[in-house]
Amino acid sequence: MNPSLPIRPHPIRFLLYVEWILLGLIAASEFLTFPFPRLHRLPLLNLVCLGLFGVMGLHLPKDNQGKKVTYTALEIGLVILTTLVGNIRLFPLLGIIIVIRNCFIFQGASRFTIVGFTFLLFLLRQFYRVRHLTFFRPWILPERLVFLLLSSIVSFGLVLIVLQLLVDAILSERRSREELAQANTQLCRYALRIEDIATLQERNRIAREIHDSLGHSLTAFNLHLEAALRLLESNPAEAREFLLEAKQLGATALKEVRQSVSTLRSDPLQSQSLENAIASLTEEFSKSTGILPTCYFNLSRPVTAEVKTAIYRIVQESLTNICKYAAATEVEIRIETKADLQVLIRDNGRGFNLDRNTTSFGLQGMRERTQALGGSFKIVTAPAQGCQIIAHLPFLSKL
């Protein structure tokens, strides 16, 4: 077969075999002879037209409307040629084949138009044959002719209707199976995508936990070491205290790493109240920077553990950033109940250009924590104008 002329397989193979069987019956009838008078027939023309008609069934137009109309017109033209000129036998079988193909080519009202036209051709053919019988066989009773005519018309009409419904049912079942297979494939893709997203979210959560816990401890650890180095010669006793505290912070950082890697714990408060946990953060911050933050708590409604953890991590990361970058002299922490739960951390440090600081993992982690709980996150800052971290959180997680 020429690869440049591919033949698309028939949509349903067994219906193609049915077509071939019907065409074979029609072709075989062309070789039969009958003793009684008959219409003038052209068997060779009929066989050629049948061959063309059969070849056309191997390729059914599906997309282009113009091709569909042209294809159907050629089919009907061949049928009219074999019927009116060649006087082919078993014409109703050709009508059945047209209806079968019509179900694959057209949709909706167009199908019934083709079925109606096929039925009209059958009527014209039958009236033509009745006139022939009346002329060549006058001994046949008119009542019998009328009965035969009506019986054939009703039978053929019922066959066309049943055939149309049957093929429609077959196509509908086939489409349902294809849609089900596509849906299953899509579900598998969605499942893989959800798995990838869940894996990515879990990685981000682990990264946030390690960054928030370890970053804070190591920042305080580094500040204590710097203070100890400054006081090592002028005040060895105080430098020793800073070194002892640095050692304690190092042990705490190591503990945080082990806990993050081994258990990935979700409760950094360790059963403390939110106020006590944040008080511990401000105490460590004060030891490292000499600045005691002003804290204001007003929680009139209960808060879930998830929201408490998010508040703790936001305050912890904010204090860590202030230690490392802000050079502030005043820090304010406000956690209060309004329409929702508002967290505000404000400092009077050097601030920064928010448009140029879009890759900070700490800021990104705070934003993700807030949005994951259905809240909103905002940063208000500018160079030499300090910084405000504002988070609005729901009282209950919207997960």
| Of 266 and 282, more confident | 282
Confidence band, pLDDT 50/70/90 cuts, at residue 79:
confident
Check pLDDT > 90 for residue 6.
no
Kindly state whether residue 157 falls inside one of the protein's structural domains. no
Structure tokens at 131: 């006139």
The DSSP string of 159-177 is: HHHHHHHHHHHHHHHHHHH
Kindly state whether residue 21 falls inside one of the protein's structural domains. yes
CA distance 267 to 274: 11
Q: What's the average model confidence in pLDDT over 144-156?
A: 75
- CA angle, residues 381, 304, 391, in degrees to nearest 5: 10
Select from 124, 140, 156 the last residue of a domain: 140
CA distance 109 to 107: 7
| pLDDT of the residue at 2 | 44
User: How many folded domains does the chain comprise?
Assistant: 2
Kindly state whether residue 24 falls inside one of the protein's structural domains. yes
Q: Which of 105-114, 154-163, 324-333 has the highest mean pLDDT?
A: 324-333
Select from 140, 156, 189 the last residue of a domain: 140
Q: What's the CATH number where 397 sits?
A: 3.30.565.10
Average pLDDT over the chain reads 79
Q: Which of 33-47, 217-231, 336-350 has the highest mean pLDDT?
A: 336-350
Model pTM? 0.44
CA distance 307 to 267: 11
Residue 378's contacts (CB-CB under 8 Å, 6 or more residues apart) are 389, 390, 391
Select from 100, 124, 140 the last residue of a domain: 140
Structure tokens at 280: 């511990």
3-class DSSP state for residue 341?
strand
CA distance 386 to 350: 5
Task: Residue 361: give the domain boundaries.
Answer: 291-399
Distance from the Cα of residue 221 to its chain's centroid = 48
Kindly state whether residue 261 falls inside one of the protein's structural domains. no
Kindly state whether residue 133 falls inside one of the protein's structural domains. yes
Check pLDDT > 70 for residue 220.
yes
At which residue do the structure tokens 């949709």 appear?
Answer: 107
